[in-house]
Structure 1
């Protein structure tokens, strides 16, 4: 069953073109000229029920515009959208009862009243029964550690505390789909980890579908098995995170920890003929970089492990941040990524 079904979705905006000088400004008063900007350009994708999907791209790639269309805030210029079986911008009242939304830089809580009062107002907005509300609230308060925050005004919460409350607010009505737009922006690593663990457990327990947009690719690595990548309003990659790593990762690094001291030249001799690069932290720890296209990881391991006295071995993959940065640095991923 599909939670989200998007076909040939396009969104265009008109932006006023300002002419230079005083004469230009006077002309703009009487006859304005506009440029047409395509923020989302004929994209299609499907997300099954219960999937956590990462939706990534640079600033201006079209991520937030897509989310706003999926949540019914914006009307598409063309194309089709079905979310939870509804057309978001046509069936607003029924549609919003089945979704939760967290925008990292915008709040759905009332600034000057206590958190619990905001929750009670949202209960009425979403028409949640008292029994369901109490049961859901008790679970969220326990899981997100909100007991000490409920009676505080939102303006007196730290960013991390507010984001935990924002998550709870978006989940009070037990939505089938949750849209998260930069949910961990500006948070410290401890709070980020807590939120990631909570989202994973919620997905596993309730099969909640999650569409996550973020610039923090550690969120993607921790939560998502699938990634949709946008560039200039177009989908340039839609597939597994591991496939993205394998296709774009330039290689892997093997870290050897030896039980006795080793010379760098001896290690280099073991891998003679292989295009690898050795470096040493000290006589007991050495690293070897294995380029994906030039050398075989298992061949390097077999040459070293069978000969040297080894205490520990670690294999470090290319970081997702580095991969995505490399894709965008190239200017276009079209030559490398096949849809």
Structure 2
């Protein structure tokens, strides 16, 4: 089922935001400098897409989000979100967008989760029957039944983030913007949240814009990734294409049953390190040249494998490589 509305959910052309700040010390300092946080950004996100919007801290991600939802006014360029002008139509846009900031809460700290949902349903002017049905759906799918009557301040981080996501989705928004939603979560909490978001997209055709430093979030949730540097988009495509542009490699970590000589000479791999006399070894491989299964088969032909882990390129490392390749001064 898809959500009615324009086919283009996010569209920016030449979007720019410049901040002016005082330079020097003291309140009487008159010298000002201009900081360009978002620079001539042209971006399109179609209905139903899931896009990872990534970059180093200070690259302009949060500033972009604030312009998409009408919190900040662009210095230049244009932006349309869900077919609306975010500043002029901010109240109408709020009905179509749900936002989750990993470091900020939209829940009432001293109230039980259930009461926060009731307040938000009233703010969005949901009919009582619709609000009840949607709340029951979200509570069941996010496994929140055990703490609906618990004050938000008493929740664990994982419980609170599930409640935050439910609050953002209570009014069935067309666009969900998640800013570092899994930061600080344990592995199980991350898995639950990712599975829910995948199911929500499949059931309702929700469009997703995700900023994160967690490669797992991007890999499991996003069809496409946009990398920003100094407020400019320097890559727009799939994650594999981003990694290929800088030669980033996947890594296979194997734990062997007995110490073994270094596993060198395996086709399309580079042996990185050995620990414990060779019981644990790490090999890097190019996913375009071979597969994890082929590498593992070659390893197993030389030593008995007890356990293994496949590690994807770290987003920070990929971003750093892109910056270095572009020759930008960080």
Q: Could you tell me how far 1:250 is from its partner in structure 2?
A: 4.0
Gaps of 5+ in 2: 1-6
- Distance in 1 (alpha carbons) for counterparts of 2:306 and 2:210: 34
- Distance in 1 (alpha carbons) for counterparts of 2:154 and 2:255: 49
- Distance in 1 (alpha carbons) for counterparts of 2:278 and 2:324: 42
Q: Could you tell me how far 1:247 is from its partner in structure 2?
A: 2.8
Question: Structure 1 residues 34 and 243 mapped into 2: Cα distance closer, same or farther (>3 Å)?
Answer: same
After superposition, residues 1-339 of structure 1 pair within 5 angstroms as: 1-19=7-25, 25=26, 28-29=27-28, 32-252=30-250, 264=261, 276-277=270-271, 289=283, 292=286, 297=290, 308=301, 319-321=312-314, 324-328=316-320, 331-334=323-326
The structure having more radius of gyration, on CA atoms, is 1
Task: Encode CA deviations 1:262-295: one digit per residue, 9 max, x unaligned.
Answer: 9759x76x769x88548777999896846659x9
Question: Structure 1 residues 288 and 160 mapped into 2: Cα distance closer, same or farther (>3 Å)?
Answer: closer
8 Å Cα contact 2:215-2:312 kept in structure 1? no
- Distance in 2 (alpha carbons) for counterparts of 1:68 and 1:292: 38
Q: Could you tell me how far 1:205 is from its partner in structure 2?
A: 0.8
Question: Structure 1 residues 81 and 281 mapped into 2: Cα distance closer, same or farther (>3 Å)?
Answer: same
- Distance in 2 (alpha carbons) for counterparts of 1:59 and 1:262: 42
Structure 1 residues 177-186 or 112-121, which shifts more? Answer: 112-121
8 Å Cα contact 2:248-2:313 kept in structure 1? no
- Distance in 2 (alpha carbons) for counterparts of 1:106 and 1:262: 48
Question: Structure 1 residues 32 and 204 mapped into 2: Cα distance closer, same or farther (>3 Å)?
Answer: same
Question: Structure 1 residues 188 and 271 mapped into 2: Cα distance closer, same or farther (>3 Å)?
Answer: closer
* Partner SS state of residue 70, structure 2: coil
Task: Encode CA deviations 1:199-247: one digit per residue, 9 max, x unaligned.
Answer: 1110111010010111222211221121111111111111101212333
Q: Could you tell me how far 1:297 is from its partner in structure 2?
A: 3.7
Q: Could you tell me how far 1:73 is from its partner in structure 2?
A: 0.7
Task: Encode CA deviations 1:4-53: one digit per residue, 9 max, x unaligned.
Answer: 1111110011111234xxxxx4xx43x62211111111111111111111
8 Å Cα contact 2:260-2:277 kept in structure 1? yes
8 Å Cα contact 1:257-1:310 kept in structure 2? no
Paired positions, count? 320
Structure 1 residues 7-16 or 278-287, which shifts more? Answer: 278-287
- Distance in 1 (alpha carbons) for counterparts of 2:100 and 2:23: 33
- Distance in 2 (alpha carbons) for counterparts of 1:136 and 1:35: 48
- Distance in 2 (alpha carbons) for counterparts of 1:271 and 1:139: 50
Gaps of 5+ in 1: 20-24
Question: Structure 1 residues 194 and 60 mapped into 2: Cα distance closer, same or farther (>3 Å)?
Answer: same
8 Å Cα contact 1:253-1:315 kept in structure 2? no
* Partner SS state of residue 142, structure 1: helix
